[in-house]
A and B are shown apart, each in its own frame.
Chain A
Amino acid sequence: MYDIKLTDVTYSYGDNTVLRGLSMAVDSGEFIAVVGPNGAGKSTMLKLVAGLLRPDCGQVTVAGRTADEARAAGDIGYIPQNFARNIADFPATVAEIVALGLVSGRKKNISRDAARHIVAHMLAMVDLEEYRDRRVDELSGGQQQRVMVARALAGNPRLLLLDEPTSGVDFDTSTKIYGLLGDLNKSLGITVVTVSHDIDKVTRWASRVACINKGLCFLGDCAEFRRVHAREPHLLYYSG
């Protein structure tokens, strides 16, 4: 069953068309790495799936529903690219941020005890139990990213969308973040779609790669993508 389906999607910012006739589908439980050059429409594609933008034409469905219906049902966990800007000086503990994942969606009506249990479980999953009562702005970039993953998963969504989760973090930390996403994808069976510039690392964990440049240039397995990318990188970034 498809978790995400984009059919002939076009989107423009004013006169600038960033996606033209994009069609692709993501199966339930897949880990998809979305790659492509700057300005290719990767983040736009993610925002269309998240329901933050509406396509000019074409259709976006999430688990057979519109993106708006999926949002309302709590199907989508989303981590934007620039969350660090919001975390800076935001007066909240790690546990408070993770608990924000329970504000709406499937877990919104649970008891206080159940919420506390879920927060503890999520923090254990991302290995941050000991930081529960620390201010989130005192953590490193990698730890903050793990807090955001815990928050996004707390509401038990069907799919997790991440926009460049390793921007601004060092080599080892980015390896750990993709490792965490790969583990969560396997252990929870959650569909993961992440935009990334870090092709070498993300393709170690992803099940398939979608290369986007206005439209879809490539959709296939990681080994094949690495071969084509190493041999003729310009072909993948050809804007058709």
Chain B
Amino acid sequence: MDFLSYDFMQRAMAAGLVTAVVCPLIGMFVVVRRQALIGDGLGHIAFAGVMGGYLLGVYPTAAAAVVTMLGAGAIEFIRRRHAHHADTALAIMFYTGIALAVIFSSMARTPGTNLLGVLFGSILTVTVQDLGLIAVCGLVVAATVVALFKRLVLVSFDEEIAHVAGINTAFVSILISVLTALVVVVGMRVVGILLVSALMVVPVAAAHLLRRGFLATMALAVAFSVLAVAGGLTLSFYLDIAPGGTIVMTAVAVYLAVLLAAGRGRMTGAARSCSGAAVPAGDKQGDQ
């Protein structure tokens, strides 16, 4: 662990671990609502925010946070008002985000290295100021998920049932979108806006393969995500390769390992059933 003796690596690990926890926390809701690609879309909008920040001379991460949350609110508004054309409208919005980013970056004469850092992450250059913002955003996301956990689950399960149960589903849906935007901003420095969605989706997809309940799946997703970020950052240091890509590839490797293990587990279970081994009474389904 001698690599953690460097200040920049300590900051990188701290920022990475906050990101590792909050990405799957909100990713669970995004995935079960079948909005797995919304993180990608919000990343495009965040890109415009960062470049706008450079242009106006304000702190780019804070500019990205404001623009991405506004974009998330707009996306949810379009989804609720124009459900039938929502995907087209959202695609137009995402293209607008990336087009504005390109225009802003040319107007601000942003150096190419800064652009690459935003697109693919620059976790090793995380400053104390960045770490503070990442920690505050992460705390807001985690506290909101804990406080409203059951409401978030019910709205993600069925909006009609949640509405009849007296929940303000419009507010909760907008909240999920805004929290997703905050997570995009948190992950932007760690893996970049092009890969931040991967940390929201891949650990959750791996946890889904183990077929547990909601809370257990969420806990597994966080564990896989922490493993991917800590493992990926360590690997990238010793192999001297890009940390963002290494973190995401570690997450993909975890997913593949779980896929193999889950598949082997199912095959073993099926073989045991076929060979006539005792099946617990509770496993037999009465009226199937």
Q: Which A residues contact B (CB, under 8 angstroms)?
A: 50-52, 71-74, 76-80, 83, 86, 89-93, 95-97, 99-105, 130-131, 133-135, 138-140, 142-143, 155, 161, 172-173, 176
Contact B166 A93 (CB under 8 A): no
CA distance A133 to B154 in the complex (A): 18
Using A80-B161, A83-B161, A105-B166 as known contacts, say yes or no to A91 and B211 having CB atoms under 8 A apart: yes
30 A-B residue pairs with CB within 8 Å? A50-B160, A50-B164, A71-B165, A72-B166, A78-B160, A78-B164, A80-B160, A83-B158, A90-B157, A91-B212, A91-B214, A91-B217, A92-B157, A93-B213, A96-B213, A97-B157, A99-B150, A100-B153, A103-B165, A103-B167, A105-B165, A131-B282, A140-B286, A142-B288, A143-B285, A143-B287, A143-B288, A155-B165, A161-B164, A173-B287
B215: interface (CB < 8 Å): yes
B163: interface (CB < 8 Å): yes
Chain A residues with CB under 8 A of B154: 100, 103
CA distance A100 to B215 in the complex (A): 13
Which of B158, B163, B213, B286 is within 8 Å of A91, CB to CB?
Answer: B213
Q: Which 8 A-B pairs have the closest CB atoms?
A: A140-B288, A93-B213, A78-B164, A130-B282, A91-B217, A104-B166, A103-B150, A142-B287
Q: Interface on chain B toward A: helix, strand, loop, or mixed SS? A: helix
Chain B residues with CB under 8 A of A52: 160, 163-164
Contact B213 A71 (CB under 8 A): no
Among B230-287, those with CB < 8 Å from A are: 281-282, 285-287
Chain B residues with CB under 8 A of A51: 163-164
Which of A103, A161, A176: most chain B Cβ within 10 A? A103
CA distance A4 to B264 in the complex (A): 54
Chain B residues with CB under 8 A of A79: 161
Rounded to whole Å, the gap between the CB of A125 and the closest CB of chain B is 15
Chain B residues with CB under 8 A of A176: 287
B151: interface (CB < 8 Å): yes
Using A78-B160, A91-B32, A130-B282 as known contacts, say yes or no to A104 and B214 having CB atoms under 8 A apart: no
Contact B165 A90 (CB under 8 A): no
Which of B153, B154, B164, B208: most chain A Cβ within 10 A? B164
CA distance A138 to B213 in the complex (A): 12
Chain B residues with CB under 8 A of A131: 282
Given contacts A91-B213, A142-B288, 6 further A-B contacts (CB under 8 A): A91-B207, A92-B157, A92-B213, A100-B161, A105-B166, A161-B164
Q: Please, what's the 1-or-0 string for B173-216, where 1 marks a CB less than 8 Å from any CB in chain A?
A: 00000000000000000000000000000000001100111110
Chain B residues with CB under 8 A of A89: 208
Q: Name which residue of chain B comes closest to A73, CB basis.
A: B166
CA distance A143 to B287 in the complex (A): 7
Rounded to whole Å, the gap between the CB of A156 and the closest CB of chain B is 12
Q: Name which residue of chain B comes closest to A87, CB basis.
A: B157
Chain B residues with CB under 8 A of A161: 164
CA distance A142 to B286 in the complex (A): 9
CA distance A63 to B211 in the complex (A): 42
CA distance A138 to B217 in the complex (A): 16
CA distance A100 to B152 in the complex (A): 10
Chain B residues with CB under 8 A of A71: 163-166
